Copies of this chain bind each other. A is one copy, B any other.
Amino acid sequence: MTRPTPLSGFPEWLPGQRMIEQHVVDRLRRTFELYGFAPLQTRAVEPLDQLLRKGETSKEVYVLRRLQADAEDPSDSGLGLHFDLTVPFARYVLENAGKLQFPFRRYQIQPCWRGERPQEGRYREFLQADIDVVDRGTLSGHYEVELPLVIADALRGLPLPPIRMHVNNRKLSQGFFRGLGIPDPMAAIRAIDRLDKVGPVGVAAQLVASGATDEQAKAALRLGEICTTDLSFVDAVRAQGVSDPLLDEGLEELAAVVSAAAEHAPGLVLADLRIARGLDYYTGTVYETVLLGHESVGSICAGGRYDNLATAGTEVFPGVGLSLGVSRLLGPLFGVDALRSSRPVPTCVLVALADEPARPAAMRTAAALRGRGIPTEVAPVPAKYGRQIRYAERRGIPYVWFPGEPDTVKDIRSGVQLQADAAGWTPPAADRWPTISGPPEPGQAPEGDSR
């Protein structure tokens, strides 16, 4: 067989990079669980009619078919791979409502698939980490305040660039446009959301095309330009002289999010009144997040409140959720070598091997170290000790264990070699497992060199 080549849009990491991804996922998971979110996984496939409820994604869906499809068994026909975790979650909630406790807090960390044209940070297969809270009937507004704090808490303590979350509220925008007398408030919301892409002139033209007067278009643009780190957005909106009960609701809800974030995670949240999110199912707070210094990647964490996504008959399950794009976050950082693992293997200790008959004793030494939580492997072949040390060096394994009378263990970075007993010796905590760090200091050798 010829040497295979990568598939565009389906990134795969090297083991050291996978360790970083795992470290990030572990941190997310632990934080989500500290906040009481229960773990959940849904199957990778959904019926196409579920996936196509939102028309705009239809061309991105991957459809499945069994290679030798069986006309007698149509049970797996008409399935596609999920393109996000929100649609499967809404379906799961409806399907299992009788077995769940509401409000239901869950997190879900799984790959998704979209047939998009691949570009930096946008993949056809990508890992997402979602948190959602769904209730039966009505959903209390404080969850819209809590969710950004959970994400901020999760990312704190990871060696990542800082994030900024741009937040708006659909009711605020819709109420403002309605109070302004714009004939199609939803069209106006979508137009303002494109301010970054098409500029104020383009947005104004779009607003006018959807029936707004020039004056209304100007007022709408003034709203879209409001972006504040504190509660001053409230006065800035009030100064426009528009009044509407939905606007009042939206202002109050957004103010709650901004002030709670200012207390618990200063600098995290901006009230940015142009944000809308393309998806029509959002009905309240909406979120988008940029990684500072990597704005070109786009939003790495987005979501919002959805009141009508999960409904069955007269039952409704309103929810609010945030999706963190793990691949979208890490891919660009891997691309510029901004994250590193202290070694590309878990191993902390290599037990050297004088000759093959010594292997059972070496295995017992390794078992004793592992039994006390120290990642250990036995040398693959007996060889000169210098060669075994080089084996460890190439993998970044910090310690080599030499069986003897007594045993000794050598820190191959410092060269210090000490007597040791497998029943008692413990490495420094920082060496036991690989550690993850941010960009190298200038002048430090890149990871590849040390392998």
Contact of A62 among B59, B67, B113, B142 (CB under 8 A): B67
Contact with B along A19-56 (1 / 0, CB 8 A): 10110000000000111111111111101101001000
A8 interfacial contact with B, CB 8 Å: yes
Q: Is the CB of B43 within 8 A of A12?
A: yes
A9-B76, A38-B345, A59-B66 known; 10 new pairs, CB 8 Å cut-off, are: A2-B312, A6-B95, A7-B45, A15-B39, A35-B376, A44-B113, A59-B67, A59-B68, A76-B115, A264-B363
**Number of A interface residues in the complex (CB < 8 A):** 102
26 A-B pairs (CB sep. < 8 Å): A3-B94, A3-B97, A3-B312, A3-B313, A7-B43, A7-B47, A7-B75, A8-B75, A8-B76, A10-B45, A15-B40, A18-B38, A21-B41, A33-B433, A37-B346, A38-B346, A44-B44, A44-B113, A45-B125, A60-B66, A62-B76, A63-B67, A73-B117, A140-B381, A260-B360, A264-B367
CA distance A441 to B65 in the complex (A): 45
Report copies per complex.
Answer: 2
Q: Is the CB of B15 within 8 A of A375?
A: no
A380 interfacial contact with B, CB 8 Å: yes
Binding site for B on A (CB under 8 A): 1-15, 18-19, 21-22, 33-45, 47-48, 50, 53, 58-68, 73, 75-76, 79-81, 91-92, 94-97, 99-101, 103, 105-106, 111, 113, 115, 117, 124-125, 135, 140, 142, 146, 153, 260, 263-264, 311-313, 344-347, 359-360, 363, 367, 370, 373-377, 380-381, 394-395, 433, 451
Q: Is the CB of A94 within 8 A of B1?
A: yes
Shortest distance from the beta carbon of A127 to any chain B beta carbon, whole Å? 9
Which chain B residues lie closer than 8 Å to A103 at the CB level? 380
